[in-house]
A and B are shown apart, each in its own frame.
Chain A
Amino acid sequence: MNNNKDIEKLIEKYFNGETSLEEEKQLQVFFQGEDIPVELRTYQDQFLMSGKLNSLSADSFSDDDLFAKLEKQSDSGKVVDLKPQTSSFLTWTYRVAAAVALVMVGFWVGGKFSTQGDVEEIQKELAALKSQLQSSSASGRLQAVSNVKNSQSSNEEMVLTLEAVMKNDPNMHVRTKAIEALAKIGKQGTIVKTLSDALLEETEPAVQIAIIDALISLEEKSAIESLEKLTEGEDVLKEVKDEAYMGIFKLKEM
């Protein structure tokens, strides 16, 4: 491997991401040599960098500190474990029964008082949203969509309206707000699919990023495919691609 032509070929392969680990080792060894030809010298630092940086070690990191911390954790774990054994079986039965009763009362009260009001409120909000969306000014529509964000519950029609805004509104801020509102609502109906589809159709970088964030916050693994497609797009901005890579990382980890 002393022939320069071979080395040049390897360098080219390296920059194309095609070298094997062994070939990369060969390059590193070659550049450690003393008589590097002049025309290859500008490559030297790049191949010697790993040797230099690999001498770093975590010597300031104290194992003792770590184990002190870990042991404290597992000790406190043991204390908690011991407690249940000292209390009698009966007390626990009572406690469980009380908890169950409390939850049931909660559901009953909640059901009694909230459903009726909720439906009416959503209908009212939807009507307001729709009339405001007729507004020709972007700020008017922005306000309309922002109002929705505050409502926790929502119905199918609301989702459809927001989806339509996200796809069709000419103003990017309005679209972004609609995306945020949809992300808040959660995994209902077609939201995830619409967001994934919109990701590939949207061309405004800021809106693309908003969609990526929304998909991450929904923890939607099925969005990975769309994100991967986005990273392969030719005219997608680098920052957007970075965000998409980050999204893929996060979603795969969940």
Chain B
Amino acid sequence: MELQEFKTKVLPLKDRLYRIAIHMLKSVEEAEDALQDVMVRLWDKREQLKEYRSVEAFAVTVTKNRCLDKLKSKKHKFHLDVQELEMDSGFESPYKKLELSESMKVMVRAFQELPEQQRLLITLRDLEGFSYEEIAEQTGLQINNIRVGLSRARKAAREAYLKVADYEQQ
């Protein structure tokens, strides 16, 4: 794959990959960082890209792995402090530009606080609208497990949302 082809086939995926990274990493800087890494990695692998059925699925897989790695090393560094740090630094910072309503902020926060696996599934399906087959290719999970995971994640997000929303209405 030459630079020209890379520009037309891989680069247009950047917004989508960036969103996945930002939902997973919850930080603009880290997401930009991850996106750079992913693009360089994809460029390095440009010869192999042809062999993949879908360049996009491969790009999403690389992004997902990069994010999980980053999260893992972060966990090792900070351990349990991470959650407190996130609270302090304000959860909405990556979404500040979007000017969300108060109740939508509660929803986004509920989504943000899901465990990373559930966040990943919601991101791929509910936010990016991938099919089950595509998600299976991207994550290596079986379709049945994806459905179960999604069901749990959606219910958990709603529960967390209602908890805060109810509290605020009282």
Contact = CB atoms under 8 A, between A and B. Distances in A.
Interface of A: 14-18, 21, 24, 42-43, 45-46, 48-50, 52-58, 60-61, 63, 65-67, 69-70, 73, 228, 231, 238, 242, 245-246, 248-250, 252-253
B131 A21 contact: yes
B151 A17 contact: yes
5 contacts: A17-B154, A45-B104, A56-B18, A70-B43, A73-B40
A18 B147 contact: yes
A54 B154 contact: no
B104 A248 contact: no
Nearest to B103: A45
B148 interface: yes
B154 A246 contact: no
Contacts of B86: none
A90 to B, nearest CB: 32
B165 interface: yes
Nearest to A253: B65
A83 B93 CA distance: 49
Given A46-B161, A61-B14, A242-B116, A56 B154 contact: no
A15 B23 contact: no
A242 to B, nearest CB: 6
B162 A45 contact: no
A36 B149 CA distance: 28
Interface string B109-148: 0010001110000000011110100000001111001111
A21 B165 CA distance: 28
A46 B116 CA distance: 18
Given A21-B129, A61-B35, A14 B154 contact: yes
Contacts of A248: 140-141
Contact of B107 (A49, A57, A253): A49
A50 B15 contact: no
Chain B interface helix/strand/loop/mixed: helix
B155 interface: yes
A53 B112 CA distance: 12
A77 B11 CA distance: 22
Contact of B151 (A15, A53, A231, A250): A15
A46 B122 CA distance: 11
Most chain A C-beta atoms within 10 Å of own C-beta, residue among B68, B97, B140, B161: B140
A52 B18 contact: no
A116 B44 CA distance: 46
B59 interface: no
Nearest to A63: B11
Nearest to B166: A42
**4 pairs of A and B residues whose beta carbons are closest in the complex:** A252-B140, A17-B151, A58-B18, A17-B147
B118 to A, nearest CB: 9
A57 B35 CA distance: 12
Interface string B52-94: 0000000001001100100010000000000000000000000
Given A15-B151, A248-B140, A56 B19 contact: yes
Contact of B23 (A14, A53, A70, A73): A53
Given A49-B107, A50-B127, A238 B115 contact: yes
Given A49-B104, A49-B107, A61 B18 contact: yes
Given A46-B161, A61-B32, A52 B22 contact: no
B49 interface: no
B35 A249 contact: no
Contacts of A253: 61, 65, 140
Given A14-B154, A42-B165, A245-B117, A70 B40 contact: yes
Contact of A57 (B18, B43, B149, B165): B18
